[in-house]
Amino acid sequence: MAAINAEGLYKVFGKRPKRGVAELERGKTREDLQKQGLTAAVIDASFTVDPGEIFVVMGLSGSGKSTLIRMINGLFEPTAGTVTIADQLITDVSPEKLRAVRREKISMVFQHFALLPHRTVGENAAYGLQIQGLNKADREKAANKALDEVGLGGWGGHLPGQLSGGMQQRVGLARALAAGTDIMLMDEAFSALDPLIRRGMQDQLIELQQRLEKTILFITHDLNEAMRLGDRIAMMRDGRIEQIGTAEQILNEPKNNYVASFIQDVDRTRVLTAANVMEPAQGVIGAGSGPQTAHKVMREGQHNWILVQNRDRTPAGILWEPDVAEAVRTGRKDLPWSPVHEMPTVAQDTSLADLFAVSAQHLNPIVVLDENGRTVGVIPRVTLLAAAANNGQGADMPESWGSPDSPLNDGESMADSATPDVPHVMEGAK
């Protein structure tokens, strides 16, 4: 059962908006509609949010994300399409039924907090419950509990105006939590806050979500925020959803140039984790082997280092080629651990940024472990640097250079400049 399901949502502003939907379906663009005085805010948006998921809709201003979120709780009526909340259709229902869904199923957190300045923090937090018709004692209890959850215990008697911006938004969060709904809509909820406070609020939201298992639909224009919070992200542009996927999918497989250009500025080191960049260890030997075996594996595989593993697949250490060669020459029986053999190990969800710190302190490759301490992969320094530099598209070749379609290129000149012989030359040199 999906918590939120949106099917083919359209929102067109202007006179006779249905006409706009028909034209968009026939392939007209947003600009065509603009000429007729119609504004297409959301075009054919479909997505599903699973229970307990943080689903982020990310887009710049004017991309239609605020309109989209307002259709999910019926503040705007979609021009076409349907919205289903917990298997209950909320488009085309009576206002009374819609209000009931809002009271019981969905709460909302607003960009500029939208608190009532004439009511105390406690009364604000209890607002949803007051609308639900709960008696005063019960709703005060629930509001105080919600204020405790967001770290504002004891502030219930103050007025919102006496609180800082970050604290006011935590009141907004407490109001949504106190309402007791499974779904929370968050409209640019942290965008009006200072960066440092925003960071703290993001951490708090993730922590709350893990504890309370709310379903959260989060709107933001900040890609880093989207990547930090979102289990899945929908990238929006000009009213359309361009791509839906996890942060890694969007970073590594951008669907089109727009998404790709967007993620250029993302701090990849904070989004990608060890699991995303690790590779299988090329050379592996058992911990019971001697220097001869190690030397053989290295020579055959052309490795300059190999991983030594215990029987239960926990890592035992790293061997380097010069040390192994020395051990073979001197006839040592035990494995020659290198002076840099302190082997750094990390968990799979360690971020790239944290891997750099580890890598800076150790010459050896980083070994990635699963929750049972078993080896799942390794990250040599070179791999780490490449992952941070990768723009997700692979190397772009300048296509116009020496294109075969160019009329100037006849077969002969191609043969002159091409380099198929080079490997042969190298072979001959051996």
Partner 1 sequence: MDFPRIPIGDWVATGIDWLTINADFFFDFLSTIMKFLVEGLSDVLIAVPWPVMVLVLAALGWVLRSVRFAALSLVGFLLIVGMNQWDNAMLTLSMVLIATLLAVIVAIPLGIAAAQSDSVSAAVKPILDFMQTMPAFVYLIPAVTFFSIGVVPGLFSTIIFALPPGVRMTELGIRGVAEETVEAGQAFGAKRSEILFGIQLPLAVPTIMAGINQVIMLALSMAVIAGIVGADGLGKEVVSSISTLNLAKGVEAGLSVVFLAIFLDRFTGALGDKKARGKSSLLALARKARSSEPVTAA
CB 276 to partner 1: min, Å? 37
The neighbouring-strand residues paired with 284 are 307
Closest to partner 1 by CB, 11 vs 175, is 175
Q: Which residues are CB-neighbours of 196 under 8 A, at least 6 positions away?
A: none
Binding site for partner 1 (CB under 8 A): 70, 73, 75, 99-104, 106-108, 110-112, 114-118, 127-128, 131-132, 175, 179, 185
CB of residue 1 to partner 1, shortest distance in Å: 22
Measured from the CB atom, the residue of 101 and 247 that comes closer to partner 1 is 101
Whose tokens are 């360690």? That residue is 350
Tokens of 76: 């705007």
**Smallest separation, CB 260 to partner 1 (Å):** 34
For residue 308, the one-letter residue type is V
Contact between 194 and 162 (Cβ < 8 Å): no
By beta-carbon proximity to partner 1, the closer residue of 62 and 392 is 62
Compare residues 135 and 257 and give the one whose CB is closer to partner 1.
135
Name the 3-class secondary structure at 255. coil
Nearer to partner 1, 115 or 378 (CB): 115
Least Å from the CB of residue 384 to partner 1: 44
Closest distance of CB 102 from partner 1, Å: 4
DSSP output for 329-371 = HHT-SS----TT----EEETT-BHHHHHHHHHH-SSPEEEE-T
Given a contact cutoff of 8 angstroms between Cβ atoms, the answer to whether 270 and 351 are in contact is yes
Beta-strand relationship, 54-58 and 232-237: parallel
Q: Which amino acid is at 111?
A: Q
Nearer to partner 1, 89 or 116 (CB): 116
Phi, psi of 73 (to 5 degrees): -105, 15
**Type of residue at 97:** K
Contact of 305 with 317, CB cutoff 8 Å: no
10, 106, 174, 238, 239 from 42: Cα distances, Å: 5, 21, 30, 8, 4
Q: Which residue is it, tokens 């791999």?
A: 383
Mapped onto helix, strand or coil, the DSSP state of residue 404 is coil
CA atoms of 420 and 123, how far apart (whole Å) = 78
Give whichever of 179 and 251 is closer to partner 1, judged by the CB atom: 179
Our CB check for partner 1 shows the closer of 110 and 356 to be 110
Closest to partner 1 by CB, 176 vs 201, is 176
In whole angstroms, how close is the CB of 202 to partner 1 at the nearest point? Answer: 21
β-pair partners for 184? 107, 216
Does residue 308 contact residue 323 with C-beta atoms inside 8 Å?
Answer: no
| Least distance (Å) between residue 129 CB and partner 1 | 9
Q: How far is the CB of 112 from partner 1 (least distance, A)?
A: 5
Residue placing its CB nearer to partner 1 in the complex, 108 or 266? 108
Q: How far is the CB of 110 from partner 1 (least distance, A)?
A: 5
Q: Which residue, 103 or 362, has its beta carbon nearer to partner 1?
A: 103
Distance CA 385, CA 392 (A): 14
Cβ of residue 175: shortest distance to partner 1, in angstroms? 8
CA distance 400 to 150: 57
Which H or E run includes 5? strand 4-13
Cα distances (Å, whole numbers) of residue 254 to 164, 261, 262, 323 = 39, 9, 9, 44
